[in-house]
Amino acid sequence: MSVHPFRRGSAIRPGPVTWQDKLDGAQDEADVVEVARDYIATLDPHEVAMLPAPCRPRKLLTANDISSYAFDLVRHECDDQDESAPFIHRLAAFFSHASIRLSELLRKTNDEDVDSEQAG
């Protein structure tokens, strides 16, 4: 019997799952959008109210919505140094990662489409 709750070599990682882990585990666009919506739902309403209008969370329905929001956050992060800057930085980091994950998933889908065309 082991003192560790997980078997050696197990694919399951012990410890808390981060938002970045959740994005990395997303299998398609819908998963990424769901993780992003869940992330938004955890934000402190007081911090959100202090955000400049272009940085406030918005409806997230598609990959385009996530990429657009990530771009707006990064653009504002580079232009502003107000009291909400650390919060904007955290948002920008999360949504930039989400946008990158969406790009990876799109590349994977495109590669699979090319492979199936070549095989057919």
Q: What is the pLDDT along the chain (120 residues), one digit of tens a residue?
A: 444 444 445 555 566 799 999 999 999 999 999 999 999 999 999 999 999 999 999 999 999 999 999 999 999 877 666 788 899 999 999 999 999 999 999 887 766 655 566 666
CB-based contacts of 118, cutoff 8 Å, min separation 6: none
Identify residue 86 by its one-letter amino acid code: P
Q: Where do the domains of the chain lie? A: 19-111
Is pTM beyond 0.75? Reply is: yes
CB-based contacts of 47, cutoff 8 Å, min separation 6: 84, 87
Element (H, E) at 94: helix 85-119
Q: Whole-angstrom Cα distance, residue 117 to residue 11?
A: 33
